[in-house]
Amino acid sequence: MNPQALLEQFLGPQAAQKASGAAQSAKNSMANSGLGGVAGGLAAGGLLGVLLGNKKARKKVGKLAGGVVGYGGAAALGALAYRAYQNWETNQPVPEAAPAAATSVPQTGVPAGYLPPPPAESKFNVEAAPAKDGKPFELALVLAMISAANADGHIDSDEQSQIFDRVGALPLDAEAKGFVFDALSKPPSLQDIADLAEGTEQAAELYLASRLAIDPDHPMEQAYLEALGSRLGLPGDLVEHLNGQAATLDA
């Protein structure tokens, strides 16, 4: 199993892949697959877009996949968590407004809203260290998103069947597909997710991945997120910074 490839399938393609036209080809293919909203969700941000039950949440994940910080997928997740952690450490204010979409700035060539990726040696690089259970941290992030997406119990049997069909059609090996099928059939508990964090950096990324998979205006989902932050042992002001970075994708 390739954990990195699996995580990218959840978060959506890198911005460069999208620019190449791969995303449009996938969207056209799925439009003819009979998967309806499931296809739309995948086009709007990977498998996580499929799991989310409302258009607002799918739009948020679509922004992450499309490179709102200058690049997409797992790299964007790490950059957002790293920025939140940096701002927390240096007592910076929590961001209040969403940045502009990532478009090129002629004078510098740097996209508006660009966030620098974590340094190569940073623990915010998902490949830097395994989760507390000794398995690749990418798998922990996938489990966190699945658990959070099930916080309100909105995935019914028909939706689950469609999701299973879509997972089966993805370019993943049998082990990766089996991992997703097992997690969808029996989603990990909140405590299961909290137990995967090895240190504050991983705890922050698990929280942020979970935050992407919920609607913060939904009471049940908000309660899940608050409980997760507590069980992860995250300081309240760091949670505020993580929520602030996630909010830049909500608008």
Would you call 114 helix, strand, or coil by DSSP? coil
Structural domains of the chain, count? 1
225-246, pLDDT tens digit by residue? 999 999 999 999 999 999 998 8
What is the reported pLDDT for 32?
A: 41
Spatial distance between the Cα atoms of 234 and 204, rounded to a whole number of angstroms: 7
Which residues of the chain carry a pLDDT beneath 70? Answer: 13-45, 53-73, 96-114, 154-155, 250-251
What is the reported pLDDT for 248?
A: 79
189-208: b (≥16 Cβ within 10 Å) or e = ebeebbebbbebbbbbbbbb
Of the candidates 147, 238, 241, 146, which has an alpha carbon nearest to the alpha carbon of residue 199? 238
Would you call 128 helix, strand, or coil by DSSP? coil
Spatial distance between the Cα atoms of 184 and 133, rounded to a whole number of angstroms: 20
DSSP string, 179-192: HHHHHHHSPPPHHH
Long-range contacts of 222-227 (CB under 8 A, 24+ apart): 224/148, 224/151, 224/190, 225/148, 225/151, 227/190
Which residue do the tokens 């797992």 mark?
74
Residue span of the structural domain in which 225 resides: 3-247
What is the reported pLDDT for 196?
A: 98
Whether pTM exceeds 0.85: no
